[in-house]
Structure 1
Amino acid sequence: MLNPHDLTNILVAHFGGLDATQWRQLGAYERTAFIASHPAAAAKAFDVLIRGFIDIVVKYNNGCGLFGKCSGYYGTVEAQGRGTLHCHMLLWIEGHPNPECLQSMMMEDDNFESLLFQWLEDVIHCELLGTSVESVGAIDVSPSRPARPEGVPDPHLQLPPQIDEVGEGAFEEAFYDFVGWLAVECNWHEHTLMCFKNLRPGEEPWDENCRMRIDGSIHMASYLDPEMQSILLQRHHPWVNNYNDIVMFLLQCNMDIKFIGSGAAAKALTYYISDYITKNDLQVHVGLQAIRAAIDSHRKHFIDDVEASSSVREQNLLTKAVNAMMGRREVSHQQVMSYLIGGGDYYTSHEF
């Protein structure tokens, strides 16, 4: 999942007619007002960013990318509460075995399992960069995100360290520091009501019931769950959500990354993600209200008309129902502009 931060995205300023200096001088409220009045710039910036991720980072059909050789992708665009856009994307990596085969390979070959864990731990981070096993016990386990120190600028707005400016010797440390600030700002998980919206009767809104599965626990090493045969990655920080350091550095925004690996959990995750990225935005209760309104309108229209045929009545009811439901679907300005000048509501490598 990629969640570009439009309120600090320099591309929004570019497409909205501001230079980088002007953009960074604006206050938070001024940038919010600018975004609200320039939805086309925000939608265009989002599209350029997602396409750049596909072309430069993933490198579909263009050799080996950050995650390997990508043989296919599908991403769906969604709007959040205030109308900003984000993308949920599935990547297919060439040579990746299916869940059953991967499970067998890991159980039969310890060396393969070790190499797979090394690759996953390099691609997916659940800690601040540079965290060692020895330092895990010293990490502050407070669930509240630490406040940014006074005088430290917002990393969303800053130009990332450039190797030709800081030099090769100092770049690694600058990279670690910058990504660390971003991980705290963007990927530090704090529970909200959304974390507990699927609680069953009797369940309490406690850490272990968070639907994001961030419960404040840590795992010192990656391992294959003997019961579910699913991969559980090391987690050296209790509250930092999964991220990739290169993507975080380049996009400077909130993200989530998961590996669809082995066992029953992989199948469940595949179903969940596939179902999620194809879900309908129209909520059930809103759709039912729309259908009821359409039926009431249909009855009033034909209450004194005894000559209309059943086919005419049925066609009228269907038209009213569809129009009523579509009329109640909430679409933000950025969503509208994404259809007009952006990439629409999905990105895909294949057409059928």
Structure 2
Amino acid sequence: PQDVQDQLQAVRKGTTRTEHRKRSRQAEETTSPGSEAEKAGDSTVSGWHTLEEEHAKDFLNIPSKEELQQIQTEYLGRTAQSALEEGVCGVCARETRKAELTWHKLDDLPNPSLLNPLKPHKAQVLQGGKLLEPEGITNDGLQTNVGRTDDPSTLQRGMVGNVTSFPLNTRKIIKMIDGQKLPQPIGILPAMIAITFVGAKNLPKNWLKGMLRVRRAKVAMALRWLITNNTLYQKFTLDRERLAQLPEDDVPVELLAVVRQETDVSVLTEEADSYIPGDLEMGDEENRANLAADQELGSVQLAHLGATESAIETQTDRDALVNAVLNLAKEGTYDIRPGQRFVKDFPDRREQADGAPNYSASAFPTLFPYGVGGIESQANIGFIEHIRYCLLLSDRRFRTHHSFPFIMFGIYQKRQALVAARIQVRQRDIDHVSRDIAKVTRADLLAAAAEKEKGLPFSNDRVKKLLYNVKLTSGRILGTDQSRAALRSKIWSTAVFMGPPSIWMTINPADIHDPIAQLFCGEEIDLEQFNDLQGQCANNVVRAQNIANDPYTAAKYFHMMILIILEALFGIRATSRATYCRKGLLGKVSAYTGAVEAQNRASLHLHVLLWLVPGGTVGSPTAAEMREKFQSAEFRETVRNFIQANIHAGVPGLTKTTLATIPRESDIAYSQPPNPTAPNFEEQFKHRLLRLARNLQVHVCVRGACKRYDIAKGTWTCKRRAPWPESEVAVVNPDGTWCPVRHYGMVNNFHPQLLVFAQCNGDIKLLTNGAETKNITWYIAKYATKAQKHLFNTSALLATALAYHFEDSTYLDDVRARSQLLLFRCFQGLNRHQEQAAPQVISYLMGWDDCFLSHEFVPLY
């Protein structure tokens, strides 16, 4: 509201600002920001200031040559081997930074009795009766490998999706599963697995064998081990007749019979859309030759998506609906459908003894091979704390499992949904709302779905009210589109307090090619004496395989690199007590708000708004102040110098004519940045900049990806507005419009220092509040927090997912209880179709947010 904004501005401009600044200085002295900077890994802490101090002279002030070298050196220090190397804690077996580990003799440890296991187990390795580095399952034991193939083009499809586990309907499958015998009948496979490949060429059978092979001896060995050692499997017996039905080493014919192939590869065009040029599209022939010599390369991380009954029945295409139901719901004489209840994944605090049912221990025998130690199996360890411990384990079996993170995240969201629904139904007007939404029928939702498909607004007020309450409930649940939308208000709140933003950036850390990411994957890499031609990581297929297999590493690498870039290169550091800034590449940055987004190839990138240290009376210059400043030739020259230093769209030697003569290098980022203290640093920097700009910043328009058909113009246009204007010099006009140096119209904007040192694709724009950028903050706030892609509309999801709610007469009659259950079921129906990238799911589980904020926000109402 305008009155709230006026009050905030009055407080901000009033006399209380001086008192607030004094209190901030006192807090700065008390908290000793120098020591905090040292803890954060900063090599230099001189020049840090609280953001409440005015620095008008620092607005658009670029660093000097000496300051620039200091920034470069600090970045290299933060990304050095000594700062990044990790070791294993001998007590908890978790990966920890070596700098935080210290050597201790067992006899010198305080309270050594705490290392005595509460429940001794035969698999534990004890040192003097103490539990140190518990021995878990190894790669040559029960843990299975993902499928392998010699086609590197299938790599880096990543683990994306959402998994919901249902119990099978016992009445329908009682004839298939005979009591307590293992293995299960092989005929059950086609009723549970659907296989579809997309590709124009014929599908070689050996590719299928790489992913779907069944080896009878391996299955027998694993089952015998589980029956002998796992308390949850001791009631089962090994059925030799069923075992004999398994192939010795081949794909079961039951699966081959249901394999389907889509030859129209254009359906993948949009899915492959990315800001970053193809990671594996260059140098394929050389990699294929290498793969031919070693068939163990090329591990495929299959896309892991949750499929429920509503995923079939909500298709809008009638043919797709009929085919899906016929092909997937019925296979042969079996009719297997998910049950009506979820698996019991809440812990029973009354049953903590060995052998008590535990969802995770039962669902993941390769992760909990002895049937003990499942998530929440101990009452004093919380759900999310236990998951984080598992993901940090040095043997990496939990983080590399294809479904464990997704299922745990689904359970986490479900519990948040229950809490959010309870909060929602305790609102003051819920009695009035409940009466309306309880009257919504299946027919109402189907009618609303039809209106949605036609692009019409909803005509039913009760349906509107239902969807509104569902949105409010989902807004309190981690990872939902509605919760991401909350960042918009934080962006606008920052703009109200700090003024308009100054810089818009996109940063795409190169997880596949960065040696740092490969170091986190466990590869033996010496960053100090780096050689990009030695070791198996010299092959980009191996690097892609490492990242695809370990989404935890991909998430950790991304969040660490973004923090280092913000703190070391841009000079802004946010702590729980205050935010500090010093001169960085862009001058002094006073605030930032950034949204993390997953690309279609499942890697993460950041859209971030940056506020430069105040250049107006208070906060960043307003639109009126900027218009006045741009009338000054001196200020336009300052802006021009800022653009020349920070925003490039061209490199000497990179033109449309010379583009074909500059080699395309897929491994360009698999290297170390040049050392600023080297005598030939300037020459190295220019040469490196040209190669990186050619390989990472040249945009290529592709139909179905960035090119869209403009009906009004009757032509295909690029949604990113390429090609961009060319210019031999940086131009700044009195109306606030500007243009960087660009010799070729398909080169995107980039920051030269960020490109050379972080070695990743990016974008940067200066927001001058001119004619072309006056509304960009609104666009950015909407774009950076845009909803993830959905295949189905909301009303259709609700119509199918809520069928059980309307048909079951056993529900409580209390309106408030029905409303609470209804809201929860609505979210569950929507969530079944929510696609999440594996690194994003890991980020949520580890407490790494999907946004980067320099300031904390508290809702007023």
TM-score range, shorter chain: 0.7 to 0.9
The 1:281/1:214 distance shift into structure 2, 3 A limit, reads same
| 2:675 counterpart (140, 150, 162) | 162
Q: In the alignment, which residue of structure 1 is the partner of 2:642? A: 119
Letter in 1 for 2:768: G
Q: Distance in 1 between matches of 2:813 and 2:567?
A: 57
Write out per-residue CA displacement over residues 131-186 of structure 1, whole angstroms, 9 at most, x where no aligned residue.
6xxxx9xx3259xx647639x7832112222244xx32x21111001011011111
Deviations 1:87-139 (A, max 9, x none): 111110012422331122112x11221221121122100101x46xxxx9xx3
Q: Which sits farther off after the overlay, 97-106 or 308-317?
A: 308-317
Residue 19 and residue 125 in structure 1: after superposition, are their counterparts in 2 closer, same or farther (change >3 A)? same
One-letter amino acid of the counterpart of residue 293, structure 1: T
**Which residue pairs with 1:274 in the alignment?**
781
Would the aligned equivalents of 2:536 and 2:542 in 1 still touch at CA under 8 Å? no
- The equivalent residue for 2:552 is 40
d(CA) in 2 for partners of 1:350, 1:182: 34
Where structure 2 has 5 or more consecutive residues not aligned to the other structure, the ranges are: 1-505, 526-530, 573-579, 616-620
Say whether 1:140 aligns with 2:656.
yes
Q: For residues 232-271 of structure 1, what are the structure 2 equivalents within 5 Å?
A: 232-271=739-778
Larger radius of gyration: 2
> Is 1:215 the equivalent of 2:723?
yes
Choose which of 105, 112, 129 in structure 1 pairs with 2:629: 105
Looking at structure 2, the residues matched to 294 and 195 of structure 1 have their Cα atoms a distance apart, in angstroms, of 34
Give the whole-Å Cα distance in 1 for the aligned partners of 2:832 and 2:642: 48
Q: How many residues align?
A: 332
- The RMSD of aligned alpha carbons is 2.7
Whether 1:316 aligns to 2:821 is yes
Show CA shifts across 1:16-67 (max 9, x none). Answer: 1112266664422222221111111111111110110011011112311110
Structure 2 residue 802 is matched with structure 1 residue 300: no
2:714 equivalent in structure 1: 203
Structure 1 residues 23 and 318, CA gap change in structure 2 (3 angstroms): farther
Say whether the 8 Å CA contact 2:722–2:745 is kept in structure 1.
yes
- Alpha-carbon distance in structure 2 between the residues aligned to 1:280 and 1:80: 12
Q: Shift of the alpha carbon at 1:191?
A: 0.6
Does the aligned pair in 1 maintain the 2:737–2:772 contact within 8 Å?
yes
Structure 1: runs of 5+ lacking an equivalent:
none
Cα 1:24/1:217, change in 2 over 3 Å: farther
Decide which structure has greater helix share. Answer: 1
Alignment partner of 1:7 is 2:7: no
TM-score w.r.t. length of structure 2: 0.36
Paired AA for residue 103 in structure 1: R
Describe the SS at the equivalent of 1:194. Answer: coil
Q: How does 1:176-191 map to 2 (within 5 A)?
A: 176-191=686-701
- Decide whether aligned partners of structure 1 residues 72 and 276 sit closer, same or farther in structure 2, where only a CA change above 3 A counts: same
Letter in 1 for 2:693: A
Q: Which moved more, 1:46-55 or 1:194-203?
A: 194-203
Kindly tell me: are residues 288 and 197 of structure 1, through their superposed partners in 2, closer, same or farther at Cα, counting changes over 3 Å? farther
In structure 1, C-alpha distance between the alignment counterparts of 2:666 and 2:772, rounded to whole Å: 41
8 Å contact 2:551–2:839 — kept in the other structure?
yes
Structure 2 counterparts to residues 46-61 of structure 1, below 5 A? 46-60=558-572, 61=580
State the one-letter code of the partner of 2:743.
H
Q: Secondary structure at the match of 1:265?
A: coil
Identity, in percent, stands at: 27
Find the aligned partners of 2:675 and 2:538 in 1 and give their Cα distance.
Answer: 24
Alignment partner of 1:149 out of 653, 656, 663: 663
In structure 2, the CA distance between the partners of 1:222 and 1:341, relative to structure 1 (3 Å rule), is same
Looking at structure 1, the residues matched to 633 and 610 of structure 2 have their Cα atoms a distance apart, in angstroms, of 26
Q: Relative to 1, partners in 2 of residues 1:182 and 1:313: Cα closer, same or farther, differing over 3 Å?
A: same
**Contact residue 4 and residue 251 of structure 1 kept, 8 A:** yes
Question: Residues 268 and 351 of structure 1: is their aligned pair in 2 closer, same or farther, counting only changes over 3 Å?
Answer: same
- Bigger relative CO (Cα 8 Å, ≥ 6 apart): 1
User: Counterpart amino acid of 1:277?
Assistant: A
Deviation at 1:243, TM superposition (A): 0.4
Deviations 1:274-332 (A, max 9, x none): 11222222538343432222333322234xx6972443433322111112212321112
Segment drifting more, 245-254 vs 10-19: 10-19
TM-score (norm 1): 0.85
Instruction: Give the AA of the match of 2:648.
Output: H
Residue range with higher mean Cα deviation, 268-277 or 293-302: 293-302
